[in-house]
């Protein structure tokens, strides 16, 4: 079959705030083929900047947009996805945003191929890599922001507990901004609000920059509340600082990696940063295949791969296929407090099963269907003119 259309859609809530809530807007990508098949993917990135990568006029042989690279191409199997990814990334070598933008298209290509071949994406990955094709359930952790105060955080935790979550990650907000005592009070509140045997994770939201001493001290101070990890205490590319931090062997394991916009950033964090949990967003790093490669690297290094997902269940689906078949990688970031937009994207979100786990769907492709009716009201149509040319005009949803 041939790719006939590659369409990005910028969706957003009516009011956007500075809160670290990535579900306030999104960029979806739809790919259509001449057989009538349709695949979808979601980017976790600035919608407008990423959309520009789909339509920017050519600058030279290293700045060619994604639509030009994909439309008219042949798509028959997983090898074509790999080939088209190489082509698109090579054509966009000098576009820094290329991975963020291409992620949505790459995921959509897998969705199409899975439907075409009648298999879930995780099985296609297993076949390609010659590894197990048995999917295992994951323990979902609710991913929420800290409340503005310890008290508010406590109530967030209690609510999650009542909703049945056995694990929850608390992040950003006041963490790191009002001194050690407040940081500890926030973590204590999260722990006390959850059941004693529940897992809690702490996301420091890159707040200590390159200051690994403070990060180490906080990790030690948080240890009494037994968090599963301390996430992103440092800036995403502060590799030396991560290396210095992990060399001190803090009592709480260090997690990082969501900012990996290329495979090398994740590899660098693992090899030189010494992290123990690597968190990859398939909607940023260039899609499912580079995420799968990081999963394989994590397996080689004996550390744990975790998804980063702070978008809709379309993103959750793509994330799950990447590591569904590794039973040791048993934690799943599960967006629990997303916007209405984010909750409207797919027709049937991933339920938390009665045993408290979440499973990949045994359906062709990603296994989720986009609810175009529901999301239409969030569409922000884009129009871009350059000189006398209209280089982008919104396609209807």
**Count of positions on this chain that bind a copy of itself (CB under 8 A):** 61
Q: Does residue 397 belong to the site contacting a copy of itself (CB under 8 A)?
A: no
Strands 254-256 and 38-43 come out as unpaired
DSSP 378: G
109/311 Cα distance (integer angstroms): 19
Closest CA to 147 of 109, 188, 115, 113: 188
Q: Which of residues 318-337 bind a copy of itself (CB under 8 A)?
A: none
Decide whether 17 or 354 has the Cβ nearer to a copy of itself: 17
Site string for a copy of itself, 87-126 (x = CB under 8 A): ------xxxxxxxx--------------------------
Q: Are 232 and 255 in contact (CB under 8 A)?
A: yes
From 39, 41, 47, 176, residue interacting with a copy of itself (rule: CB under 8 A)? 47
DSSP 42: E
Decide whether 52 or 81 has the Cβ nearer to a copy of itself: 52
Q: Which of residues 349-388 bind a copy of itself (CB under 8 A)?
A: 380-387
Decide whether 80 or 237 has the Cβ nearer to a copy of itself: 237
Site string for a copy of itself, 226-245 (x = CB under 8 A): ----------xx-x------
375/206 Cα distance (integer angstroms): 32
Q: Of 18-26, 110-118, 158-166, 355-363, which segment contacts a copy of itself by CB under 8 A?
A: 18-26
Vertex 188 angle, CA 170 and 309, to 5°: 10
Q: Does residue 64 belong to the site contacting a copy of itself (CB under 8 A)?
A: yes
Decide whether 35 or 62 has the Cβ nearer to a copy of itself: 62
- DSSP-derived secondary structure for 268-318: HHHHTT--SEEEE-TTTTTSHHHHHHHHHHHHHHT-EEEE---S-HHHHHH
77/92 Cα distance (integer angstroms): 23
Q: Rounded to 5 degrees, what are φ and ψ at 389?
A: -100, 140
From 3, 8, 9, 24, residue interacting with a copy of itself (rule: CB under 8 A)? 24
Q: Of 104-112, 150-158, 161-169, 262-270, which segment contacts a copy of itself by CB under 8 A?
A: 262-270
From 1, 5, 63, 71, residue interacting with a copy of itself (rule: CB under 8 A)? 63
- In the sheet where 199-203 sits, what is the strand order? 304-307, 277-280, 254-256, 230-231, 199-203, 167-171, 139-145, 331-335
Binding site for a copy of itself (CB under 8 A): 10, 12, 16-22, 24-25, 44-49, 51-53, 55-64, 93-100, 206, 236-237, 239, 259, 261-265, 267-268, 272, 284, 380-387, 391
């Amino acid at each position: 079959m041939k790719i006939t259309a590659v369409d990005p859609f910028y969706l957003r809530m009516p009011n956007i705030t500075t809160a670290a809530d990535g579900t306030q807007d999104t960029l979806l990508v739809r790919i259509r083929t001449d057989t009538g098949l349709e695949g979808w993917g979601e980017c976790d990135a600035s919608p407008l900047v990423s959309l520009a990568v789909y339509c920017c006029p050519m600058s030279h042989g290293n700045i060619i947009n994604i639509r030009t690279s994909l439309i008219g191409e042949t798509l028959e199997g997983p090898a074509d996805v790999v080939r088209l990814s190489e082509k698109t990334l090579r054509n966009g070598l000098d576009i820094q945003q290329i991975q963020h933008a291409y992620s949505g298209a790459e995921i959509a290509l897998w969705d199409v191929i899975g439907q075409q071949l009648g298999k879930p994406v995780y099985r296609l990955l297993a076949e390609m890599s010659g590894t197990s094709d048995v999917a295992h359930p994951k323990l979902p952790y609710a991913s929420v922001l800290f409340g503005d105060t310890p008290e508010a955080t406590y109530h967030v935790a209690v609510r999650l507990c009542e909703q049945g979550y056995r694990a929850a990650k608390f992040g950003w907000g006041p963490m790191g901004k009002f001194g050690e005592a407040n940081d500890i009070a926030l973590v204590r509140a999260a722990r006390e609000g959850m059941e004693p045997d529940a897992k809690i994770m702490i996301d420091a939201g890159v707040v200590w920059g390159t200051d690994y001493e403070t990060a180490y001290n906080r990790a030690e101070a948080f240890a009494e509340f037994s968090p599963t990890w301390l996430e992103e205490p440092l800036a995403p590319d502060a590799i030396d600082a991560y290396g210095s931090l992990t060399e001190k062997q803090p009592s709480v394991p260090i997690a990082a990696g969501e900012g990996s916009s290329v495979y090398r950033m994740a590899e660098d964090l693992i090899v030189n940063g010494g992290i123990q949990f690597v968190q990859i967003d398939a909607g940023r790093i260039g899609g499912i295949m580079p995420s799968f490669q990081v999963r394989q690297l994590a397996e080689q290094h004996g550390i744990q791969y975790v998804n980063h997902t702070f978008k809709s269940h379309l993103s959750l689906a793509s994330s799950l296929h990447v590591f569904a078949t590794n039973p040791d990688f048993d934690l799943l970031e599960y967006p629990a407090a997303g916007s209405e937009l984010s909750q409207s994207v797919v027709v049937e979100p991933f339920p938390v099963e009665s045993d408290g786990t979440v499973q990949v769907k045994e359906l062709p492709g990603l296994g989720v269907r986009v609810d175009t009716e529901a999301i239409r009201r969030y569409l922000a149509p884009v129009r871009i003119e350059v000189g006398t040319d209209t280089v982008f005009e919104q396609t209807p949803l």
